[in-house]
């Protein structure tokens, strides 16, 4: 790729990861083993939960969480509409119904008033998403959950290191689910993690993650129809090295986000990310909201011509063919999510960027918007 091309995201990897992986390759023990156990311990300690279990992805972490909670046919699960489809897909895979909830346009997170209005006798759980590294309003969500007897599974895919009133995301609900995809703060290539404080849930996660088998004297006894959701020691080795960098990565991304705020101040065509009173944003992505009259997709194309990679924020699920066909959603039903889907724009942000890169992106953004007009 052209060295002058500003990428959307780039993981921060150096010899530390290479050395950790080499130690696994040298050992000859490549599947789930001691590195996975160490990585899990590091994450549990960082999040402040009793347990953490590595999985193949955040998607399988979410799916396993639903299985552990017994979510199944005819149950309803409340899901924010503005999210990557995996958040709702796992509900469908359990033959349950994802009930899509509108968002707060300022935070891109689930709107708690719309959330409570959609609770029914069939509702069993809420999956709040901590969008782009900003915590959802967990106090309000937990009050609703307690009032109606609902489970809470945090979709913290973008939020390792994010906090809500200084408490780490992933430590509030029955379970928290993290992603280590390369666009996240830290990566294992692909991979995920479930955190929990429940002894009962921990035992079920441990059992179901590994084919439903319990090992003794070199053989398994299979007590459940489980899954192969195990992380390899190669991936965990990368994760161990990445955990040593996590605080520095978050600090640097916050510094770069501050540079964006400074340069975009007063540019009325763009709304910068809002940080509410609970704070704790880690800026996994720096997502702005363009004016309603601006063709956001044209901005993306223009910036690509300038050698700058950008993309939409994420998806409004009710606009996607599967959800329209299966649940008969109309485009006007969730207006904030629809607006975010049409007008949000993710700008490049990663550890190795510098101020000159920020200047170039902002200049490119302004020129791209001015080029198309309103």
The residues annotated with a catalytic role in the active site are: 184
Q: Which two tokens stand for residue 51?
A: 């347990």
Q: What is the DSSP string of 123-142?
A: EEEE--B-GGG----HHHHH
Q: Look up residue 162 and give its two tokens.
A: 């994010």
Contacts for 104 with CB less than 8 Å, ≥ 6 apart: 110, 111, 336
Nearest 5°: the CA angle 139, 140, 142 is: 65
CA 280/CA 259 separation, integer angstroms: 17
Tokens encoding 256 = 């770069």
CA–CA dist 295, 20 (Å, integer): 46
Percentage helix, strand, coil for the chain under 3-state DSSP, each rounded to 5: 40, 20, 40
Question: Which two three-digit tokens encode residue 102?
Answer: 């509108």
Read off the tokens for 243. Answer: 């955990």
Contact assessment for residue 158 and residue 187, using Cβ atoms and an 8 Å cutoff: no
């Amino acid at each position: 790729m052209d060295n002058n091309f500003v990428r959307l995201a780039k993981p921060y990897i150096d010899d530390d990861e290479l050395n950790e992986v080499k130690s696994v390759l040298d050992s000859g023990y490549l599947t789930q083993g001691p590195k996975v156990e160490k990585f899990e311990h590091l994450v549990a300690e960082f999040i402040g939960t009793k347990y953490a279990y590595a999985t193949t992805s955040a998607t399988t972490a979410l799916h396993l969480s639903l299985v552990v909670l017994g979510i199944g046919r005819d149950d309803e699960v409340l899901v924010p509409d503005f999210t990557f489809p995996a958040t709702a897909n796992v509900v469908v895979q359990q033959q349950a119904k994802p009930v899509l909830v509108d968002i707060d346009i300022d935070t891109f997170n689930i709107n708690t008033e719309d959330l409570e209005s959609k609770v029914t006798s069939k509702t069993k759980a809420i999956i709040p998403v901590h969008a782009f590294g900003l915590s959802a309003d967990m106090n309000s969500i937990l009050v609703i959950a307690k009032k109606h007897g609902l489970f809470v599974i945090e979709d913290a895919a973008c939020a390792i290191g994010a906090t809500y009133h200084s408490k780490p995301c992933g430590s509030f609900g029955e379970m928290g689910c993290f992603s280590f995809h390369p666009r996240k703060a830290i990566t294992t290539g692909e991979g995920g993690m479930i955190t929990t404080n429940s002894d009962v849930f921990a035992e079920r996660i441990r059992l179901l993650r590994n084919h439903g088998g319990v090992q003794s004297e070199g053989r398994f006894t299979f007590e459940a129809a489980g899954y192969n959701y195990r992380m390899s020691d190669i991936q965990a080795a990368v994760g161990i090295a990445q955990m040593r960098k996590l605080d520095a990565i978050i600090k640097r991304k916050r510094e770069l986000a501050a540079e964006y705020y400074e340069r975009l101040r007063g540019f009325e065509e763009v709304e910068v990310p809002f940080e509410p009173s609970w704070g704790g944003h880690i800026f996994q992505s720096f997502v702005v909201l363009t004016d309603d009259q601006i063709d956001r997709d044209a901005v993306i194309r223009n910036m690509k011509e300038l050698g700058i990679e950008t993309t939409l924020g994420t998806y409004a699920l009710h606009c996607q063919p599967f959800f329209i066909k299966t649940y008969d959603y109309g485009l006007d039903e969730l207006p904030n999510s629809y607006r975010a889907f049409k007008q949000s724009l993710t700008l490049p942000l990663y550890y190795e960027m510098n101020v000159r890169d920020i200047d170039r992106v902002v200049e490119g953004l302004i020129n791209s918007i001015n080029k198309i007009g309103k």
